[in-house]
């Protein structure tokens, strides 16, 4: 009897697991790749690598999650909830833009690509999991990235064009 209940429970959860898988990236769509091996971000659009920019990532490899995620939230002058700092305040560590994605089953408000009030941290392994960018870089990227854009975070020795092709963003 126990094994039948276990089997029924597994089968009832199976469709949920399938639905949780990320949708594939379509050739030509905007796509972001963040490579923790070199702390660089590539913006891919129209079947080509448009820009490669420096970023700061997690203090440890585990802090910045790896995988394919989806941009869920965008904000200008984001509010920093942890320390109750309003957007636009020079003390706000999120800078002027937030591009939030759904890593670790979150809603786009926990993990994100954002500016920083510490520009010297770019290129370093320093964050608590987010991806930091220079102000001008994140503001330019923000304008190009629609909600729904896929974000790949990886630790790889491969170049961005190869990674984009492997993930379907470039034909």
**142 and 135 in contact (C-beta within 8 Å)?**
no
- Concerning whether 30 is annotated as a catalytic residue, the answer is no
In angstroms, the CA 106 to CA 13 distance is 20
- Concerning whether 134 is annotated as a catalytic residue, the answer is no
In angstroms, the CA 53 to CA 6 distance is 49
The catalytic position among 34, 53, 68, 130 is: 130
Q: What sign results for the dihedral spanned by CA atoms 80, 86, 90, 96?
A: positive
The catalytic position among 114, 132, 134, 150 is: 114
Annotated catalytic sites, by residue?
Answer: 114, 130
């Amino acid at each position: 009897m126990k094994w039948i209940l276990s089997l029924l429970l597994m089968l009832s959860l199976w469709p949920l697991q399938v639905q949780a898988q990320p949708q594939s990236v379509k050739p030509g769509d905007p796509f972001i790749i963040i490579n923790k091996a070199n702390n660089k971000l590539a913006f891919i659009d129209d079947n080509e690598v448009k820009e490669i920019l420096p970023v700061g990532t997690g203090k440890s490899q585990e802090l910045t999650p790896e995988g394919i995620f989806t941009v869920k939230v965008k904000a200008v002058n984001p509010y920093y909830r942890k320390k109750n700092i309003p957007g636009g305040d020079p003390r706000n560590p999120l800078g002027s833009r937030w591009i939030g994605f759904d890593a670790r089953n979150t809603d786009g408000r926990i993990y994100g690509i954002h500016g920083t009030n510490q520009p010297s941290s770019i290129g370093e392994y320093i964050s608590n999991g987010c991806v930091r960018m220079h102000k001008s870089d994140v503001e330019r990227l923000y304008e190009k990235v629609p909600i729904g854009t896929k974000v790949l975070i990886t630790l790889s020795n491969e170049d961005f064009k190869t990674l984009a092709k492997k993930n379907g963003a470039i034909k």
